[in-house]
Amino acid sequence: MKKPSFDPGLTQQFTGSLRRAINKDGSFNVRRRGTSWRDTHPYLHMINMRWLPFLTVLFLLYLAVNTIFAAIYYGLGPGHLTGAEGTTAGDQFLNAFFFSAHTLTTVGYGSISPRGTAANLLAALEAMIGLMGFALATGLLFGRFSKPSARIGFSERLLLAPYQGGLSLQFRIVNLRDNVLMDLEARLLLMTVEGPPDQRSRRYHPLNLERDKVLFFPLTWTIVHPIDEGSPLYGKTPAEWEALQAEVLIQLKGYDDTFSQTVNVRHSYRYDEVVREARFSPSFHTDQAGDMVLHVDRVGVFERVEPQRVLEA
């Protein structure tokens, strides 16, 4: 039986040049088409939404609900809201809007109150919607705050650097947050496009690492792939890297001690993000008091080395 080829889930089919497989924010470069509203999960969408759009959506929903109920109160006609009388139609609508806000949030200042069966039923309905709505909003906020996530800073460039008499592919990472990450593990795949022009396909090659796991992660970690005879990058020129559309896919997995859960981070580097003849500059030092000082903003700082040294190293 023929052994199946390795596919990490990004397909081997080649249908055109790909900008990149994994975006800079860690998301996959896949645009979904053909879904319907039944396939959309509002809670999942709101949990994964960025903070500014999330707060904007909550505020717009709050305005929309109050505006709708204010329009209904206003449509009931004068006299259905005691204390909401105004000299103009605009004043009356604003009073109805503020009464709606008081009812929705169950504040109830008492300066405006419903009169009649219709207005009281509407106020009771709005109070129920307000209770359920704010319970959902509170759940969303708690879910967003309690959701474990890792903020790993990656060096902007992938370096081709000297390593033990040869060359290596290196990038550096740092924990951007104050939480404690332990048992951090790294896995790298090289994605290439190979084959004759009419039968091209994607291939995935695991990249062996000098060290694929660290127990503690309080400083930076320079992840190194030695380019030896067993490396798929051995002997490749920059032109060959570009022809292969080489992209290094990265998956990090670690244990978050704050949330007591496992977190995952994805990243990638393309062939045009590789800097040759360079090595990373130090990003931490020990001060006079004996404490280690980490410069988080220097995770991607590198220095050039002489080409001769790279070839000789």
- pLDDT of the residue at 4: 59
pLDDT interval class at 309 (50, 70, 90): very low
pLDDT recorded at residue 312: 40
User: Mean of the pLDDT values across residues 180-195?
Assistant: 92
pLDDT, averaged across the chain: 87
- Condensed to tens digits (0 to 9), the pLDDT of residues 132-161 reads 999 999 998 888 887 777 889 999 999 999
The pLDDT, as a whole number, for residue 311 is: 41
Q: Is a pLDDT exceeding 50 seen at residue 129?
A: yes
In the chain, % of residues over pLDDT 90: 43
Confidence of residue 5 (pLDDT cuts 50, 70, 90): low
Looking at 82-86, 222-226, 247-251, which range is the least confident one? Answer: 82-86
Measured distance CA(58)–CA(51) in Å, rounded = 11
Task: Kindly state the DSSP code that residue 289 receives in the 8-state scheme.
Answer: T
Q: What is the pLDDT of residue 175?
A: 92
How far apart (Å, rounded) are the C-alpha atoms in residues 200 and 216?
Answer: 42
- Give the pLDDT band (50/70/90) at residue 310: very low
Inter-residue contact 228 to 172 (CB < 8 Å) = no
pLDDT at 168: 93
Residue 182 in this model has a pLDDT that exceeds 60: yes
Phi then psi for residue 51, to 5 deg, are -60, -45
E strands, the chain, in order: 81-82, 113-114, 152-154, 158-163, 166-175, 181-194, 201-206, 213-216, 220-227, 247-256, 261-270, 274-276, 278-280, 284-286, 292-294, 302-304
CB-count exposure of residue 20 (10 Å: 0-12, 13-18, 19+)? middle
| Sign of CA pseudo-dihedral 304, 307, 309, 310 | positive
Q: Which residues contact 145 (CB under 8 A, 6 or more apart)?
A: none
Mean pLDDT for 268-282 is: 93
Residue 268, CB-side half-sphere exposure with 13 Å CA sphere: 23
Decide if pLDDT at 265 tops 90.
yes
- CA distances to 44, 107, 210, 264, 279 from 207, rounded to whole Å, are 34, 61, 10, 19, 20
- Interval 12-41 mean pLDDT: 79
**Longest alpha-carbon distance in the chain:** 92
β-sheet bridge partners, residue 220: 174
Beta bridge partners of 28: 22
